[in-house]
Every structure is written in C-alpha cells, then in structure tokens.
C-alpha cells in the first residue's frame, strides 16, 4: 500500500540537518529547521549563512561590530533522514568573520521546500489541499459500487474530477486515496486537491496569491466557515508529476490533522445539513465546477478587499462583535459602491439643495465666513446615505432582500445606526449588542449571495432564504422580538 505525497511527516515541527549556500556545499553548518506554527525558523549552530572571506595565512579574525540584516535568497540543506531541503528568503543578521565562530544564529524563512534542491524561485506546478475541499467537491466513493463484495476493488489511482484552462493555465481538481497497511489491517481515506499547471514558471508567491487565495475565499464564502490550507506542494520545471514535487511549509499552511483523522464522512453530512450555512458545493446541479471557478476568478480581483472584510471574522473568532459588525457592514458598503456608482443626487439637484441651505443661512444672518465654509464643504458631499447603500445591496438579492424588508422595513436605517455606533460610540446611549449581532449575520448572508451571484450562481439568494439559520436570524430582528427584548437587559454578545 503506497502512501500519499508528503503524508509521512504531517506532525513534524522540527528537522535536524546541515545547511549551506548553493555552490558552497563544503561550508556546512549544523542547525534545526522549526515550524513554530506562526512561521518557519532556521537555527544555525556555529556559523552564519554568509561565506567566510578567505585571508592570508597570518590573517586574523575580523568582525564587524554592528550586525547587518540581510535576506539570503536560497539555502540548501539535508536532514538526518537524508531528505534534501530548500529554503527561500532566509532573513536574519549576518556577521562577517574570517573564521567560523561558535554562535547561534536564527533566521526567518519565507518558504521551506522538503524533498529536493532548487536553484531559483520558479515553479511549473502547484498542488494544494484545504481542510474542507474534499467535502466540498464530493467526489465519487472510493469503493466500486458495482463490486462491493470484493474488498480489493478500491479506486486507488488518482482521478481527475475536472480539468479546464484559465488563459494559458490548466486548473485541475483531482482525487485519490491515501492509507496505511499491515498484516492485520488496512486503512484508506480519500483526498482531494487542486493543481495549477503553468506553461511559464512563476514564483511561489505569485502562485499563492493568484490561485490559492481566490479558491480559499470561494470555499469560505460558499461554506460560511473558515477554510485552512492543509497541504501544499510545488514542482520545479522539468520534474514529472510525482518526481520533484516538493512539500511546502510556510506560516499559512496548517498540516496539523492527518487525513485519517479528518472524519470526512461527517464533513459531508455537515455540508448538506439544512441548518448549515453552505450555499453551494463543487457538485452543484445548477453550475458546473468549471463555470463556478472561472466566474469566481473573473470577479475575485475587484472584490478581494471586500471578501477579506467579509470572511475575516471566520479566522478570528475572538473579535469583538462590534468589530465583526463593522467589517461586514463595510463589505456591503463596498458592494454598493461597485454595483451602484454615482452620487445621491444629479449634479443640478445637488447644486440646488446646497444653494437652498446657503440662501437660508444668509437670510438668517449667519456670518459670511461660516456661509462660505458651508458652501465649500456641502458642495463636495453629494454622497448617498449609508442606509441607501444597504438598501441597494438588499435589492440585488431579490426574494432574500424582500424578505428582509418585509420583516424590518427600516433595515437599512437600523443597520446604518448600528454602524455609526461602531464608528462613533456614544457613552450615554446604550447599544443593543445582541440585536446588532443579528443584523450583522443577515448582512453576511446578503454579501455571500451577491458574491456568488457574480460568479454565476443565480439561485444563491433563494437557497439562503430556505436556510433555517438565516430564518432564525430574521426572526431575531423582527419588531415583535425587539419589543419583547426591550424589557430585558442588554449586553455584549
């Protein structure tokens, strides 16, 4: 039974080995590569990463008093188990000396590649797994349904769920099995991954920013929950599909849970639960996986900052409810600005209302300096109200927005009022934080629906309307609930 790519060391956090600069393999330093959970560090014992300056036979050690902070692009290493390692962008203090001295040096590593040596930051393929990707893709069972009695008939080979081109890049979603075996037992689990195959090599940061981030955001918006990167590999140019596929470690990858402990069947049940916030999966009957991903990638660059505001609280559950509310509100405000650009009034209408105010102030005897200031300030503030912006976004969701307004006709005004209490808190006015929370939950549903509609999922709003978790939030903001809660003490959620 073969094991999956990189599955053997998922729990490792420290690797002992020797380290050197490319072209200087004779000058090696012992050290430890550490995955701290917040980043990757290299601790060298007895030397730094700067090659020694060769001097004459009578030369003396020369040392610069002030250490210099530098970044070393490539560092090679070999671990105790004989695996090769490449480190990219090792940053730390370099101290020049003619001789290796007994010191401990600590370097911050941007990316660690386990499994081989590369000469530069260029890769032809990237493969990534997320903790919810397999449940979201919902591939075929690993058992052959036509031969269930034969336990050996397991779909072991990697199969492609979908392959399509985005410009000159091939995007592939694939699935397979990973397992362990002994004389007494066999254990198998299914895995799913996304691969990006490039015609021209790219650096690792470009691959992560342009491919991993958008798909991670798509999963988070679709599922309404945080999504973690659990497995990441890069293949340098010239390597075959399985040869030279290097396991990547950096501060975002969280490989803490082995595949066999992920309880994938439970995840599948959660995604299809009526009460859960899932709006779509990779096996959606309305929209193919290709159309959904391509549509999402098309709009993701322009919505990226808004998506970050929308899903940020999923990755930071310790946020105060007011901070979460403010971030979600800003998402809807940004959607309004993109979908409904323009001013509150036409130019002529705005000029007239400024004139009316200025004329009234002049007739009332207001000082000319104050009148001039009012004319100058008001002339540039042809802005829509926050309430109007929220109402605009609600209308984008059709029946969902209408259900919200039927429950609370003043939803926009109330939501804007809670937003002002976040930006400009008033000590004398008590805020109903519980009610504020539920307004934020509803706006989150609205924002997710709009983003998925942009990607081509036209029925997103109708699906959200049927979710019991949305219906519960809707009941919480109803006027009847508000009246019933006025007699109750209000507090921070």
pLDDT in tens, 50-107: 655 545 555 555 454 456 678 889 999 999 999 999 999 998 876 544 444 556 788 9
Domain ranges of the chain: 7-55+68-114, 123-272, 302-342+384-485
Q: pLDDT tens-digit profile of 203-235?
A: 999 999 999 999 999 999 999 999 999 889 999
**pLDDT class of 7 with cuts at 50, 70, 90:** very low
User: Considering the chain, what is the average pLDDT of its residues?
Assistant: 81
Q: Which of 218, 392, 244 is nearest to 311 (CA)?
A: 218
Whether the CB-CB separation of 100 and 235 falls below 8 Å is answered with no
Q: pLDDT tens-digit profile of 270-324?
A: 776 666 899 999 999 999 999 999 999 999 999 999 999 999 999 888 888 888 9
| Rounded distance between C-alpha atoms, residue 62 and residue 48, angstroms | 15
| Rounded distance between C-alpha atoms, residue 416 and residue 438, angstroms | 14
| Rounded distance between C-alpha atoms, residue 19 and residue 227, angstroms | 34
**pLDDT class of 181 with cuts at 50, 70, 90:** confident
> Which segments of 277-332 are extended strands (E)?
none
| Rounded distance between C-alpha atoms, residue 98 and residue 60, angstroms | 7
Burial of 133 by CB count in 10 Å (0-12 exposed, 13-18 middle, 19+ buried)?
Answer: buried
Tokens of 261: 């402990």
Neighbours of 237 (CB within 10 A): 14
Cα distances (Å, whole numbers) of residue 253 to 37, 208, 219: 9, 11, 16
Cα distances (Å, whole numbers) of residue 427 to 73, 401, 421, 435, 493: 53, 33, 10, 18, 18
What's the confidence (pLDDT) of residue 263?
A: 44
**Higher confidence at residue 28 or residue 393?**
393
Flag whether pLDDT at 3 surpasses 70. Answer: no
CATH of domain 7-55+68-114: 2.40.10
Average pLDDT of the residues in 15-39 = 86
Neighbours of 164 (CB within 10 A): 15
Which of the given ranges, 27-41, 179-193, 320-334, 441-455, has the highest pLDDT on average? 441-455
pTM value > 0.75: yes
Q: Which of 399, 396, 392 is nearest to 452 (CA)?
A: 396
| Rounded distance between C-alpha atoms, residue 30 and residue 459, angstroms | 58
Phi, psi of 433 (to 5 degrees): -70, -30
Flag whether pLDDT at 242 surpasses 80. Answer: no
| Rounded distance between C-alpha atoms, residue 85 and residue 193, angstroms | 23
* Residues linked to residue 214 through DSSP beta bridges, in sequence order: none
Close Cβ partners of 281 (under 8 Å, ≥ 6 residues apart): 135, 136, 137, 138, 222, 271
Phi, psi of 222 (to 5 degrees): -70, -40
Alpha helices per DSSP H over 340-410: 347-363, 368-378, 386-396, 399-407
**Higher confidence at residue 453 or residue 146?**
453
Whether the CB-CB separation of 29 and 47 falls below 8 Å is answered with yes
What's the confidence (pLDDT) of residue 417?
A: 87
């Amino acid at each position: 039974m073969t094991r999956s790519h990189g599955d053997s060391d998922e729990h490792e956090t420290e690797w002992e080995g020797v380290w050197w600069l490319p072209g200087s393999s004779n000058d090696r330093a012992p050290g430890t590569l550490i995955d701290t959970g917040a980043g990757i560090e290299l601790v060298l014992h007895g030397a730094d990463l700067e090659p020694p300056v060769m001097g004459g036979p009578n030369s003396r050690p020369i040392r610069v008093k002030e250490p210099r902070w530098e970044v070393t692009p490539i560092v090679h290493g070999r671990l105790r188990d004989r695996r090769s390692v490449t480190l990219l962008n090792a940053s730390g203090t370099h101290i020049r000396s003619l001789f290796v001295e007994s010191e401990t040096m600590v370097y911050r590593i941007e990316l660690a590649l386990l499994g081989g040596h590369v000469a530069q930051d260029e890769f032809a393929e990237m493969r990534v797994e997320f903790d919810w990707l397999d449940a979201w893709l919902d591939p075929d069972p690993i058992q052959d349904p036509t031969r269930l009695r034969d336990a050996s008939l397991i779909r072991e080979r990697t199969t492609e769920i979908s392959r399509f081109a985005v410009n000159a890049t091939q995007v592939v979603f694939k699935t397979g099995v990973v397992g362990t075996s002994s004389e007494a037992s066999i254990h198998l689990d299914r895995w799913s991954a996304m691969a990006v195959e490039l015609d021209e090599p790219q650096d690792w940061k470009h691959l992560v920013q342009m491919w991993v981030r958008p798909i991670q955001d798509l999963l988070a918006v679709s599922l309404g929950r945080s999504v973690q990167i659990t497995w990441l590999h890069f293949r340098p140019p010239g390597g075959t599909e399985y040869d030279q596929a290097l396991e990547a470690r950096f501060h975002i990858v969280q490989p803490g849970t082995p595949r066999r402990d992920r309880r994938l069947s439970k995840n599948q049940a959660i995604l299809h639960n009526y009460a859960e916030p899932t709006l779509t999966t990779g096996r959606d009957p309305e929209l193919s996986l290709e159309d959904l991903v391509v549509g999402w990638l098309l709009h993701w660059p322009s919505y990226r900052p808004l998506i970050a505001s929308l899903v940020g609280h999923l990755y930071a559950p310790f946020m105060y409810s007011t901070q979460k509310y403010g971030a979600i509100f800003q998402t809807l405000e940004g959607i309004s600005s993109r979908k409904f650009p323009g001013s509150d009034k036409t130019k002529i209408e705005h000029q007239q209302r400024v004139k009316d105010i200025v004329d009234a102030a002049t007739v009332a005897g207001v000082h000319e300096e104050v009148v001039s200031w009012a004319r100058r300030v008001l002339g540039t503030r042809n802005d829509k109200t926050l309430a109007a912006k929220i109402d605009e976004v609600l209308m984008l969701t059709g029946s969902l927005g209408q259900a919200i307004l039927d429950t609370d006709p003043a939803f926009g005004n109330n939501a804007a009022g809670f937003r002002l209490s976040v930006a400009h808190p008033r000590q004398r006015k008590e805020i109903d934080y519980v009610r504020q929370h539920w307004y934020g939950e509803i706006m989150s549903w609205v924002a997710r629906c709009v983003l998925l509609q942009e990607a081509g999922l036209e029925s997103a709003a109708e699906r959200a309307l049927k979710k019991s978790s949305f219906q519960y939030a809707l009941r919480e903001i109803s006027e009847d609930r508000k009246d019933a809660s006025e007699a109750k003490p209000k507090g921070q959620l």
